[in-house]
Amino acid sequence: MHNDQSTSELISQSLSGQLSRDQQTAVDNELKKNEQSRHFAKISRMIQDSLSDVARRSLAGDESIAPGLSQASKARMKKSLRHEQSRLSLSALGATVTADAITQSTEGGPPGPSASDDFSEQRRMNSRFTLLKKIGEGGLGSVWLARDEMAKRTVALKEMNPDAAEFPRAWERFHREAEITAHLEHPNIVPLYQFGSDGQSGQPFYAMRFVGKRTLVDAIEEYHDRRKAGEDVAMDQHRLLTAFIGICQAIAYAHSRGVIHRDLKPENVALDSFGQVVVLDWGLAKVSDEYESEGLLSGHSAMSDSAFGKTMAGEVIGTPLYMAPEQAAGNLEDVDRRTDVYGLGAILFAMLTGSAPHQKNSVDDDRSIPVAELLQNISTEPSPRPRDVASGIPADLEAICVMAMQFKAHSRYQAATEVSDAVQRWMAGRSERRQDYANSRSEGRELRTSMLSSVRDLERNVRFMSSLPPIQGIVDVLSGREGDEIATWRERLGVIFRGLLSTNCDFCSVSFAQVKDDRFQEFIRIERQATDISNVRSIPASRLSSGPLNDCMKQALDSNPDEVYVALSSECPDERNAANRKPNRLAAGVPVFDAVTEELFGFVLIEADLDRLIENQLRDRFRATSRLYVLDNDSRILLQMNRDGGRVHENDGKSISSITECWSSVLQPLKQRGEFIDEQDHAVYATRIDLVPGQYSLALALCLGCE
């Protein structure tokens, strides 16, 4: 030391961290051997601490501090303090060394550059950016749209907020956020262009790629608005899920670099107009211990995750509405990659429902509950399920979300790539299933048209049979106007009836009966043998049916000439042969009137085998369909066929509601519109066949995966 003045100057510069390493060594040696110098250093430290405290309190707006200072002096004091904080942060928090109170920080690296050199460099860096407008603000920093005058491009520039600058840990976090962002180079992670400090305000900043103001929040809101408006949102859903896969890939890459985001939410995902997905805001990221030990970041202990994490032990890190249970509990030691997996599931939850996972738990009786109570609920209650919030969500997609958001970390997907793979498999399978569903829907409509055509054919045939000359011949004989024996007309009519059944294999029987005093008497009946459909036979007169009119016959007799009544034969029971009658038949009846007196005489009735009719229509069809159900008016199963076209009998007569849960959501649209189309799961298609419009119908339900 040359003299006391130079010693004092060097001690002051040491307190400010402005000495070179050789100069600092000289000061240390002087302090060790000179008690007077040690006393001076102690007093200088007390003065500097006092001034720093005054400056901080003044910066916070405490007017009781330094009342004699002018506004300009106070402004200069604030500016000096911010400059010093900036310089310390950019030189690895600017540690200095003294013999006792001042010690070398644990960075172990060389001191930063001198203040004059540092600020000169900052001015040169800052001169290339022009702030245009503020586009976002958070607790730690503000984001500006800026122009890079050197590169002639628009960038996003994030700078620390003045209020946050008063806290040393905020500087650490901001520096750490910039360092982690620069460390991650991936197409779906925002690239960092430059990190520096503003020469005028002293606030640190970093410049990064500007990806626009549109975030995943906007895309989710638009998707659900269009869905609620009844628009076709298939492509919107596809785009959202494609973006989600990009998010998963970005997080998987970050995990491979030892970085855990810890604050995944739609607000932190930017979307551009060309499908680019960018994950933002790595300010709360954590570096896993094994990667920290490998020095993937700067290596400064103040910036390391172990040191940084200890200062926050017991704190809650993240956004409560999307937070994993272990985060809500403040168990930072339990936070790992699976915490981000929960965050990915939370983003998927928002895509599916339009709301955050814990949004429903954040209010109680229309009032916002305290954050502490919300965190307690998240950390102790089971994770929500998407279908508890919104209906109509594809079941398989919901299952992926539920798996990612399991309450216990070990029950979740164990990696972000597993979530991505599951969604991609669902999308690929959905395309195949969508095609199968489209085929089934087309074939279902064709079957409905074909069956309606068959019913119309049945009506035309029974109407034609009732107008045959032998019918009127029998009427004339029985009325005493003809002398021919009734057997002649019966034989002629039997030939025609037999020809009808021979050419229509779906028809089971055709009969003509007289009605008198609310009773009927068959005059002729031709039927197909049940065990041998090629055998068509005439029933002997001694075996012809007679008896009271049933409801089906009464309905047919109440019709006007040429009006046909159609119903299931189960509504037209034959008391004498009830045990031998097949229930799944269509019966079409038409009244017969005496052409001379125009009085009601009887009816002609044709029965068709409904099972055979459907089976013939279905054969070699519906290969993509798991099961086909034919239902009556009461949703009872009349017929069911499997994928291979084989008949299944075990559930005949049961209500379909007892077989599949799908039917509860199908029935109402089917009754109202005559058709149900499953836009979400593509699990079931149903259509209604109006056999008697307004009175009787059948339903066809084609199930691909609802059982």
Q: Quote the pLDDT of residue 579.
A: 46
Q: Quote the pLDDT of residue 453.
A: 86
Torsion sign (Cα): 14, 18, 19, 20: positive
- Residue 37: other Cβ atoms inside 10 A: 20
Q: Over 80: is that where the pLDDT of 90 sits?
A: no
Beta-bridged to residue 609, according to DSSP, are 585
Rg from Cα positions in the chain? 43
Average pLDDT, the chain: 78
Sequence-distant (6+) residues with CB within 8 A of 641 are 614, 615, 618, 622, 627, 628, 647, 648
Q: How far apart are CA 27 and CA 44, in angstroms?
A: 14
Q: Quote the pLDDT of residue 275.
A: 76
- Residue 278: other Cβ atoms inside 10 A: 23
Angle among Cα 569, 573, 578 to the nearest 5 degrees reads: 110
**What digits encode the pLDDT tens for the residues 527-572?**
998 788 888 999 998 889 999 988 888 888 998 888 888 887 666 6
The SS3 of residue 86 is helix
Which alpha helices (H) appear in 354-485, and where do they start and end?
371-380, 386-389, 395-404, 416-466, 469-478
Q: Over 90: is that where the pLDDT of 139 sits?
A: no
8 A C-beta contact, residue 502 and residue 537: no
pLDDT-based confidence at residue 438 (cuts at 50, 70, 90): confident
Q: How far apart are CA 663 and CA 649, in angstroms?
A: 19
Between residues 402 and 707, the one the model is more confident about: 402
Q: How far apart are CA 464 and CA 173, in angstroms?
A: 90
Sequence-distant (6+) residues with CB within 8 A of 109 are 92, 300
Q: Which of 18-32, 38-52, 66-80 has the lowest mean pLDDT?
A: 66-80
The SS3 of residue 513 is strand
Mean pLDDT calculated for residue range 103-121:
35
**What digits encode the pLDDT tens for the residues 28-42?**
777 777 776 776 676
Q: Quote the pLDDT of residue 357.
A: 93
Torsion sign (Cα): 562, 566, 569, 575: negative
Q: How far apart are CA 307 and CA 97, in angstroms?
A: 20
Q: Quote the pLDDT of residue 100.
A: 30
Beta strands in 243-331 (DSSP E): 259-260, 269-271, 277-279, 286-287
Q: How far apart are CA 508 and CA 525, in angstroms?
A: 11
Mean pLDDT calculated for residue range 59-81:
54
Q: How far apart are CA 301 and CA 310, in angstroms?
A: 12
**DSSP collapsed to 3 states, 532-544:** CCCCEEECCHHHC
The SS3 of residue 5 is helix
- Residue 447: other Cβ atoms inside 10 A: 21
pLDDT-based confidence at residue 9 (cuts at 50, 70, 90): low
Of the segments 396-400, 453-457, 656-660, which one has the largest average pLDDT value?
Answer: 396-400
Of the segments 65-79, 340-354, 674-688, which one has the largest average pLDDT value?
Answer: 340-354
8 A C-beta contact, residue 696 and residue 567: yes
Rounded percentage of the chain residues whose pLDDT exceeds 90: 27
pLDDT-based confidence at residue 250 (cuts at 50, 70, 90): very high
Q: Quote the pLDDT of residue 254.
A: 95
Beta-bridged to residue 686, according to DSSP, are 676, 701
Q: Over 50: is that where the pLDDT of 609 sits?
A: yes
Q: Quote the pLDDT of residue 257.
A: 92
Which alpha helices (H) appear in 148-263, and where do they start and end?
168-183, 216-228, 234-256
316, amino acid identity: V
529: exposed, middle or buried (Cβ count in 10 Å: 0-12, 13-18, 19+): exposed
Q: How far apart are CA 59 and CA 90, in angstroms?
A: 21
Q: How far apart are CA 436 and CA 120, in angstroms?
A: 68
Q: How far apart are CA 485 and CA 92, in angstroms?
A: 122
**What digits encode the pLDDT tens for the residues 589-604?**
999 999 888 899 999 9
pLDDT-based confidence at residue 217 (cuts at 50, 70, 90): very high
Q: What is the biggest distance separating any 2 CA atoms in the chain, rounded to whole angstroms?
A: 157
Q: Quote the pLDDT of residue 309.
A: 42
Q: Over 80: is that where the pLDDT of 268 sits?
A: yes
**What digits encode the pLDDT tens for the residues 346-384?**
999 999 999 999 988 777 666 778 888 889 899 999 999
pLDDT-based confidence at residue 633 (cuts at 50, 70, 90): confident
587: enclosing H helix or E strand: strand 585-593
